Structure 1
Amino acid sequence: MTEQKKVSAVVVTYNRLDLLKKSLDALLNQEYALSHLIVVDNNSENDTKEYLESLGDKIDYVRLNENLGGAGGFNRGVRYFMEETDDDYVWLMDDDTMAHPDSLAKFMEYAKEQPEFSFLASKVLWTDGSLAKMNVMHYMNNRLIPATETKAVQTRNATFVSLLVSRVAVQEAGLPITNFFIWGDDIEYTERIARVLPGYFVPSSQVTHATKANFGSSLLNDSADRTPRYYYHYRNKIYYARQRDWYRKTRAEVRPWLDYVQILFSKTDNKKEKLAIIKKGVKAGFAFNPVVEKVEGK
C-alpha cells in the first residue's frame, strides 16, 4: 500500500486578523488533512499574536521580529517546512486566500498522476466566482489560460495564492528571496524551481482570493499613497527578467517603459512621482543581485 504523502501549509500574515481567521479555518477543515499548519506572522499587532497563540498546537506559530514583507515571510515559512518537518510538500498562500474544502485533495489527486513536478497552482477565483485578475495563469506559449480550461497544463510561473511546492524542488533551487520584500517574489521563485522540474496549473483545485476589488496591480490607476511600493515591482521585475531567455527577457525589460509612456501622456494623479518611481526601480533592478539561500532540510 502506498504511503500517503504529507503536506505542510504556510500562511503569511500581517495585521489582517478577520481574513486570517477565515483562511485558517478553511485549512483546518480540508478533506485531505494537513500534517502541519505553519503561520508566519510578520510582526502583527497584539490581537493577531494573541489569537494565534490561543490556537495552541493546532498550528506551528512563527512570529518574526520585524515585517519582512511577503517575500521574507515565505522565505521563513519554507525554511521552517524544510528544517522542522519531513513533509513531502509545502502549500503556500497569503492570509486572504480562502481554500475550498477539496482544494488540497484535488492537488493530491493530480500529484498521484504526475508526481514529477516543482509546483502545482490552483485556479484562483475572486469572491464573485470569476477569475481573480491578480492571479491569471498562462500556457507555456504565453497565451492566457481561460476560465473554461478543465485540464491540468504546464505553466512557467504562478503566484503565492495556493501553490503546492515539492520538497525536492526546494532542495535543488533554494528558498524564496527575502530581499524582494513584496511583488514578484512568487514569479521569480516559481520560474526558478520550474527549471528543476515542470510546474502545472491544476484547475480542479480551486481557491478564492478575498481581495477588496478584482483588478491587477497598476501604477497608472493606483492611489498616490501606494506609489512608493511600485519601486519593488519594477526593481524585482528587472531582476527576474535577467534570468530568462533572450526573448522573454527583452519583452519584460521593455514593459516598464511602456508603462512610463502611458503614464506620461495620461491624466493620472501624482504623475511626477509615478514616473520617478519607474526610473528608480528599473535602475535598481539592473544592479540588484540578492543571495539565493539554500537549505539542507531535516
Structure 2
Amino acid sequence: MSKPLRVAAVVVTYNRLALLRQCLQALTNQTVTLAAIWVIDNASTDGTGEAVRAMPLSHLVYRNTGRNLGGAGGFAYGTREAAAAGYDALWLMDDDTIPENGALEMLLRADENLQGNYGWLSSRALAPDGSDQPMNRQRVTPYRDIGSYEGAEIPAVMASFVSLFLPTASVRKYGLPIAEFFIWSDDWEYTRRISRKMSCYVAPASRVIHAMQNPGTVNIATDVPARWERYHYFYRNDVVLYRREGLRGWLWLLAKDMWHTLQVLRDSRGHRWMRIRTIWKGFAAGVRFAPEIKYLR
C-alpha cells in the first residue's frame, strides 16, 4: 500500500477576511486531513493577520509578504515557500475558493487512478448558484474550453489557480509561477508550461465554489469600469503566454485583441480610447516583456 501524500493547501489572500474565513473553514472540513494550511497574505489592511494568528489551528502557517505582490506574486511566494518545506503536493487556491468537503479526497483519488503520472490536477469550479464559473473553465487546447465535465479524469492543458493540485516534483522540475505578471494569466502560463511536458487533467468529482465578486470572462469591453486600469497586465501577460505557441499563438493574440477593440467601440459606457490604448499598449509591452522563470534552490 502506497504511503499517503502529505498535502499542504496554499491560500493567497488580500483584504477579504470574510471570504478567507469561509475558505479556511472548508479546508478544515475536508474528509482527508491536510498536513498544513499556508495563508499567504499580500499585506492586507483589514485585520487578516491578527485574525489568522488567533485561529486555533495547529497546522496553519501564516506568511505576510510585506506588500501587495498581486495574485501572481502571492502564488509564486507561497508555492516557493511551501514546496521548500517538503510536502508531497500543494493545493493552490484564492481566498474566495470554498472547496466541498470531499474535494481533496477526489483529487487524491485521481492521483491514485493516474498512479502519479501527471503534471497537475484541477477541480471543477462552480458559482454559488451551482452553475460552472466561466472564468475557471479549463482548456483542452490553448484556444478551446473544456466541453463537458463527464468522465473521471479529463485531459487539459490550462487551468486556473482556483483549486490546482500540484505535485511538488512538478514545481522542482518546471519552476515557479511568474511573480512579475502581478495579476492575470499567471495560472494559464504556469499550467501550460507544465502541460507542454506532461499530461495534466481535470478531476470533475473534485468540486469547489468560486465566490468571485466579478464573475465572467476577462475582457475590458465587458468588465466594470473600476477594473479597467488593471487590464494592462492582462493584455501584456497574454503575449508571454501565447507567443510560445508559435504563429498560431500570435494570430490568436491579434484576433482576440482586435475583437476586444471592436467590442469597446460598440460599448456605450464611454472612455473608449482609454480602453483601446490599454489593450494595445499592453500588447506592445508584452512583446518586450521577458520575465525570468525562477526555480527552487
Amino acid of the residue matched to residue 270 of structure 1? H
In terms of mean alpha carbon deviation, does 231-240 or 57-66 score higher? 57-66
Q: Distance in 1 between matches of 2:178 and 2:142?
A: 27
CA contact (8 A) 1:172 1:196 kept: no
SS, match of residue 9 in structure 2: strand
Deviation at 1:143, TM superposition (A): 4.3
Q: Distance in 1 between matches of 2:51 and 2:71?
A: 20
CA contact (8 A) 2:72 2:177 kept: yes
Counterpart position of 1:18: 18
Q: Does 1:212 align with 2:187?
A: no
Q: Residues 75-108 of structure 1: CA distance to partner in whole angstroms, max 9, x if unpaired?
A: 0100111212x21110000000000000000000
In terms of mean alpha carbon deviation, does 50-59 or 141-150 score higher? 141-150
Long gaps (5+) in structure 2: none
SS, match of residue 139 in structure 1: strand
CA contact (8 A) 2:8 2:35 kept: yes
CA contact (8 A) 1:30 1:102 kept: yes
Counterpart position of 1:241: 242
Equivalent pairs, count: 295
Task: Please report the RMSD computed on the Cα atoms of aligned residues, expressed in angstroms.
Answer: 1.6
Q: Distance in 2 between matches of 1:193 and 1:17?
A: 32
Long gaps (5+) in structure 1: none
Deviation at 1:292, TM superposition (A): 0.6
CA contact (8 A) 2:146 2:156 kept: no
| CA 1:239–1:253: 2 relative to 1, 3 Å | farther
Amino acid of the residue matched to residue 291 of structure 2? P
Deviation at 1:213, TM superposition (A): 5.0
Deviation at 1:8, TM superposition (A): 0.8
Counterpart position of 1:173: 174
Q: Which residues in structure 2 correspond to 1:141-152 (within 5 Å)?
A: 142-152=143-153
Counterpart position of 1:137: 138
| CA 1:225–1:135: 2 relative to 1, 3 Å | same
- State the identity %: 35
Q: Distance in 2 between matches of 1:13 and 1:199?
A: 26
Amino acid of the residue matched to residue 74 of structure 1? F
Counterpart position of 1:123: 124
In terms of mean alpha carbon deviation, does 248-257 or 131-140 score higher? 248-257
Q: Residues 19-57 of structure 1: CA distance to partner in whole angstroms, max 9, x if unpaired?
A: 000000101121111111111000001511101111263
Amino acid of the residue matched to residue 124 of structure 2? K
Deviation at 1:139, TM superposition (A): 2.5
Q: Distance in 2 between matches of 1:255 and 1:213?
A: 21
SS, match of residue 57 in structure 1: coil
Q: Distance in 2 between matches of 1:100 and 1:38?
A: 18
Counterpart position of 1:104: 104
TM-score by length of structure 2 reads: 0.95
Q: Which residues in structure 2 correspond to 1:1-298 (within 5 Å)?
A: 1-45=1-45, 47-55=47-55, 57-84=58-85, 86-114=86-114, 115-140=116-141, 142-296=143-297
CA contact (8 A) 1:235 1:283 kept: yes
Q: Residues 161-186 of structure 1: CA distance to partner in whole angstroms, max 9, x if unpaired?
A: 00001111111110001100000000
Q: Distance in 1 between matches of 2:66 and 2:253?
A: 35
Give the ranges of 4+ consecutive aligned residues of structure 1 lying more than 3 Å apart after TM superposition: 140-144
Amino acid of the residue matched to residue 194 of structure 1? S
Amino acid of the residue matched to residue 92 of structure 1? L
SS, match of residue 277 in structure 1: helix
SS, match of residue 145 in structure 2: coil
Amino acid of the residue matched to residue 40 of structure 2? V
In terms of mean alpha carbon deviation, does 145-154 or 193-202 score higher? 145-154
Q: Distance in 2 between matches of 1:46 and 1:269?
A: 33
In terms of mean alpha carbon deviation, does 168-177 or 248-257 score higher? 248-257
| CA 1:58–1:5: 2 relative to 1, 3 Å | closer
Deviation at 1:142, TM superposition (A): 4.9
